Amino acid sequence: MAVKRVEAACKANNWGELKSIFEDMVDAGSVKGKDMAKILPILQDLQADCDEKVLAAMKPVLFFWADNMSDEGVKTFLACADHYIELTDEDYGRAGRSYESLHIHVIENSGCVAPEGTDPDEYWLLAAECYLKAESMRADECLKKLRNRVKRVDGTKWIRFKSAQSRVQDRSRRYGGASYAYLSTLKDAESLNIDLDVLSKTMTLNNAAICAILDKHGPPRTAVLQEIKLHPLSDTIPVSNILSKVSNNEIVTPKEVKLFESGLAEHHRAKMPDGRTIVQNAMIRHNISVVASIYKRVSLKTMASILGVKEEKDAERVITEMINKEGLKAIIDGVDGTIEFNPDDSALIEWEDQICEFCKELDVLCGEVDRTNAMQIA
């Protein structure tokens, strides 16, 4: 009876009736798996523009069924739940929640026997991947369920797990761990003979480069940057230009910073409490490191100009943070308004002439680059 009613309702595009049929099942306190097995193909044949209507109609019966499952109904239920998730289209947050509330709930919490070949780890991984697409850190909670369950011997599933972990660390701003994890994913895929397509390899390497560039300074970051630079695909990734400059310890200009930032994901471009973005602060730290490797002593005024910050105190604040947190060897003389880099180095270097010359050379270089770009466009 229910099957014929569903068929008639779908044929007439009567979504209120369809919802009423499913609500009647809930009110009766019983969902018949045999009926649902016949209803599912009818729903699957509907046009895509009906998805939201069918989704709303199916929701109450599926969630009721999940809480009142029997062994014989599990297989049909999972098929219906799969279709429900297909209907969510690009609402990845809803899809992730559905995997947890439907598939995982029935497999792990209902006490029913799952069909042979059913893999709860796959559902946890699918939920995590959906949450990541939705920019939801609920993905991390899903991956925690798998940390002692998915192993290298699982092959493709292991690579998907490692990739998801990398993205979670990336979104959590744990850039050092994320860059290493992205690289590790590529290495594991190669050692396990899992053939990733060129686009997947390129984007994974690109993500590793972005995170390494944004990471705090230190030997681990330097090692990862060099490893990325030596990768056969390093020249093909979108951030190859900025990667080369950072790896070669070269000054990055404000124009290059803007170009780099424009191609990044939203979470990389977030503004920090100081009013600057994550990228801007990372490039300021990088340029300080470059200057520190060349000059013995620089005025705060000149440093602020090089870094592109408004006031001397802004430059002083960033340098102080690098001294405290990233091991920068420098002493700030607040009275004279100068910074002495590598104070244990006894070499005496004339600083003002050198820094002026450096800025002139930088201006000439930028002008040449702009003229070259203009000629190429013309």
**Residue 330 counted as domain residue:** yes
**In Å, how far are 117, 134, 136, 164 from 127, measured between CA atoms?**
18, 11, 11, 11
Rounded to whole angstroms, the Cα distance separating 101 from 207 reads: 31
Core vs surface per residue 238-250: b (16+ CB within 10 A) or e = ebbebbebbbeee
- What is the per-residue DSSP string for 144-174? HTTTTT--GGGTHHHHHHHHHHHHHHHHTT-
Quote the DSSP letter at residue 271: B
Q: Domains in the chain: how many in total?
A: 1
Q: Give the Cα separation of 264 and 259 in Å (integer).
A: 9
Give, for 2, the enclosing helix (H) or strand (E): helix 2-11
Q: What pLDDT, on a 0 to 100 scale, did the predictor assign at position 326?
A: 72
- Give the separation between CA 183 and CA 203, rounded to whole angstroms: 11
Domain assignment present for 38: no
Domain contains 223: no
- 338-341 β-sheet, strand order: 297-299, 338-341, 330-333
- The percent helix, strand, coil of the chain (3-state, each to 5) is 70, 5, 25
In 3D, which of 67, 78, 80, 66 has the Cα closest to residue 38?
80
Give the strand pairing for 338-341 and 297-299: antiparallel
366: domain CATH number is 1.10.10.10
pLDDT tens digits along 275-297: 788 998 888 888 888 887 877 88
Question: pTM for this structure?
Answer: 0.80
pLDDT digits (tens, 9 = 90+) for 136-184: 999 999 999 999 999 999 999 999 999 999 999 999 999 999 999 999 9
Contact 304, 311 (CB under 8 A): yes
> Which burial class, exposed, middle or buried, applies to 220 when counting CB atoms under 10 A from its CB (0-12, 13-18, 19+)?
middle
The Cα 251–Cα 289 span in angstroms is 9
Burial annotation 80-117 (CB, 10 A radius, 16+ → b, else e):
bbbbbbebbeebbebbbbbbbbbbbbbbeebeeebeee
Q: How far apart are CA 256 and CA 290, in angstroms?
A: 16
Strand partners, 127: none
Q: Which of 47, 106, 49 is nearest to 79 (CA)?
A: 106
Profile the chain (378 residues) by mean pLDDT over runs of 10 residues.
92 94 93 94 93 94 95 95 94 96 95 92 97 95 95 95 97 96 96 95 97 91 94 96 93 89 90 85 85 80 78 82 79 81 61 58 63 62
Within a domain: 11:
no
Q: Is residue 337 part of a domain?
A: yes
In a domain, 94, yes or no: no
Scored b (16 or more CB within 10 A) or e, 171-183 reads: beeebbbbbbbbb
At a CB cut-off of 8 Å and minimum separation 6, what does 272 contact?
278, 281
Alpha-carbon span 224 to 205, nearest angstrom = 11
Residues 6+ apart with CB under 8 A from 203: none
- Summarised one tens digit per residue, pLDDT across range 101-127 is 999 999 999 999 999 999 999 999 999
- Interaxial angle between packed helices 175-191 and 198-214, expressed in degrees from 0 to 180 and rounded to the nearest 10: 150
Tell me how far apart the terminal alpha carbons of the chain are, to the nearest angstrom: 72
Instruction: Tell me if 19 is assigned to some domain.
Output: no
Strand partners, 331: 340
Domain with 324, as residue range(s), is 278-377
In a domain, 373, yes or no: yes
Strands 338-341 and 330-333 turn out to be: antiparallel
